[in-house]
A and B are shown apart, each in its own frame.
Chain A
């Protein structure tokens, strides 16, 4: 993994800056590339050192199913909750612990872009919030987010086998 880090670190400062991320063409074209980048730079710093880099990428390790029996699952960075938390943070840019309608709209706009009209986007966002919002505060909290995805197999979707 350190090799990877080094290959990304263009100016060899021992840490990554936003320019290094942007140099990756694919990530720049990705509709939520910006948000992924934001996730790496936690709490207002503008550099990422190796340990935080690894910590973030650890979210994507495939979950080891056999550990279910021991109670140790919650602390593993790759556990289902942590993966969900990471995904939640991609929506929640202002880190207030809730996905508001505006944030959801922004993500939808980024992903669907030119294909749909603004009205449709609004309706879709409206519906999404109505489906998930159980405490009627017009925003999706982390628990509501988790609940709406409880039947989905997150572990498959958010794992990179290379990281095992």
Chain B
């Protein structure tokens, strides 16, 4: 009897179970992201496609295909794209990326134009389109008489959000002149802010039965509060973030976290007070970037950039993907008249707007926009992610929501496909003014600095307080006060010096490249003893920064302790310094050559692992535009590694240890802890050292 009871109660231990509902949501999200990323990989397999067809088109097409598949099996798309998800998770990432990688110098030079086009242009567009659509609605033939003015205005606010991601890529490839690029870039960014503000305002108004003039004034006042408030919050958070990073030298691993958390916090707090969160996050990124990049370590800097790019890319990909899917799977309400007229008006009003606005602002610009630039501006007005999200998340109280969604999708598809694909040939055909990719030379930098000072002085003379004057004043304020507070050691490094260091490093790399191990070639530059000391002073200063990277990690959470290696370096330094003094010219050079080679090999190690940081140090602001040159030089850096193969390999570390005890080469001892043995240790160097050591 006992047996029966136990048998009834006994359940077999399940060998294999499935519990899908538990993991459903994260699982599906991951699958979607992965699918979209595969699509991205797929595009680049065939190069020609990406030149002619912008990525957003391809993503939408894939989305359409997937949507068609889902529709045919009668599945619903995951209901993840809600208002909250978009506005709280996806949009801040996209905007953060744009704000962080905005080239600051051209932006501030053109700031007036950018704001003019963003604010006034968007207002012009939305009001123009709204009113003309309302006029169309009155015509009974189209059957849309029930849409009142407020709803039309709301819709037109959605439609005027410009998203020229595709266009920007084309501009970069074609290297259009900087002014056009930055105005399109800046306009897109700030116009998102304006659109969201208008959207909120109009949706609030749309629910009110009657609009009074007083409400209009309140609306305008609110607009300014929202915009300026957003900026104020952003700057505040930016400074706090910069201040925090001043103290993070002991906790390097979580440095990137501060950047993200503070930006996100800025966004959320702005949302809390219903002021423009996009402005907040952009200004936060702009203020933060300059100071944070000086405070954090190189690795954190790279991490921040890469992570921002990555999440922004995911976010955008997902949105376009959803666009494609949703196009197929929702019920559409199609109305020929309304939709066609929307398309027409969107086009017309943008063109008119650009024309009129440019005429007004051209007298204030030093370089006026010519007709070709204006065409580029007008034609580059593609609609994209933001419009889609705003339309999709319209409140259901709007009667004709489906019509609006359909119309928005139609406009987006039209502009992205048609304008996106045709803009490249058009731009090349009309031959828009190109920019010169400036060769970075010390001369240019010095002379430009001189000219800026001159201009500030001249403007002083003329009693005209314009750009250069304010810039000068701000730089002084910056150097005197801000930098002392916000940057760790407060040591101001001029851009001239930074550029000089960068160029010297590049040259040293090139020497190694062409010399292929023949050290004698380094003698072609005439070195004097004083120069030698100068050069290795400068190089050693650089080395202090590099040291952080070449020492092995001891634990998961502890970063290397570099006090010991620093000591070794100082000892090494002293050895070389001592040896340089009473030497003949020949051996001094060979010492220096060896020293340079050691340093270069250090650099090579680092460059092998995370190359781009060095090239990014001096010009982080240029990264978004000049990403390509950075990549080509990284392939150049790889070549020296292969050339070194001509030298013999030192297989064991015993030899190294022997050497290190005699000459204090802690440098190589620590390097050998790397398992990556692709770089063979140059034995010839050691033999040289042996020769000279005997003379000591």
Q: Out of A122, A149, A153, A160, name the residue touching B458 (CB < 8 Å).
A: A160
Residues of A within 8 A of B472 (CB): 30
Cβ of B442 < 8 Å from any Cβ of A? yes
Interface residue stretch chosen among B194-202, B286-294, B495-503: B495-503
A33 to B459 CA separation, bound complex (whole angstroms):
12
Q: Is the CB of A87 within 8 A of B453?
A: no
Q: Is the CB of B451 within 8 A of A87?
A: yes
Count, chain A residues at interface, CB 8 A: 52
Cβ of A24 < 8 Å from any Cβ of B? yes
Q: Is the CB of A162 within 8 A of B447?
A: no
Known: A57-B462, A115-B497, A162-B466. A32 touches B538 (CB 8 A): no
Interface residue stretch chosen among B151-159, B343-351, B433-441, B666-674: B433-441
Q: Is the CB of B438 within 8 A of A122?
A: no
Q: Is the CB of B493 within 8 A of A131?
A: no
Cβ of B449 < 8 Å from any Cβ of A? yes
Residues of B within 8 A of A124 (CB): 442, 446, 496-497, 500
Cβ of A42 < 8 Å from any Cβ of B? no
Closest Cβ–Cβ distance, residue A65 to chain B (whole Å): 8
Known: A156-B367, A160-B466. A87 touches B497 (CB 8 A): no
Tell me the A63-80 residues at the B interface (CB within 8 Å). Answer: none
Count, chain B residues at interface, CB 8 A: 48
Cβ of B284 < 8 Å from any Cβ of A? no
Known: A90-B450, A152-B448, A157-B452. A162 touches B494 (CB 8 A): no
Q: Is the CB of B538 within 8 A of A148?
A: no
Q: Is the CB of A87 within 8 A of B464?
A: no
A124 to B537 CA separation, bound complex (whole angstroms):
13
Residues of A within 8 A of B365 (CB): 161
Closest Cβ–Cβ distance, residue A24 to chain B (whole Å): 6
Cβ of B225 < 8 Å from any Cβ of A? no
Task: State the main secondary structure of chain A at its contact with B.
Answer: helix
Q: Is the CB of A111 within 8 A of B459?
A: no
Q: Out of B442, B492, B531, B535, name the residue touching A128 (CB < 8 Å).
A: B442
Most chain A C-beta atoms within 10 Å of own C-beta, residue among B452, B456, B538: B456
Cβ of B366 < 8 Å from any Cβ of A? yes
Please name the residue on chain A nearest to B447 by beta carbon. A149
Please name the residue on chain A nearest to B500 by beta carbon. A124
Most chain B C-beta atoms within 10 Å of own C-beta, residue among A62, A159, A161: A161
A to B CB contacts below 8 Å, 5 in the list: A30-B472, A36-B458, A107-B446, A153-B436, A157-B451
Chain A interface (Cβ within 8 Å of chain B)? 4, 7-8, 21, 24, 26-27, 30-33, 36, 57, 60, 62, 87, 90-91, 104, 107-108, 111-112, 115-117, 119-120, 122-124, 126-128, 131-132, 145, 148-149, 151-163
Given A111-B453, A119-B537, A132-B441, 15 extra CB contacts under 8 A? A21-B461, A27-B457, A30-B457, A33-B457, A112-B496, A116-B497, A119-B534, A123-B538, A151-B444, A152-B447, A156-B366, A160-B464, A160-B466, A161-B364, A162-B464
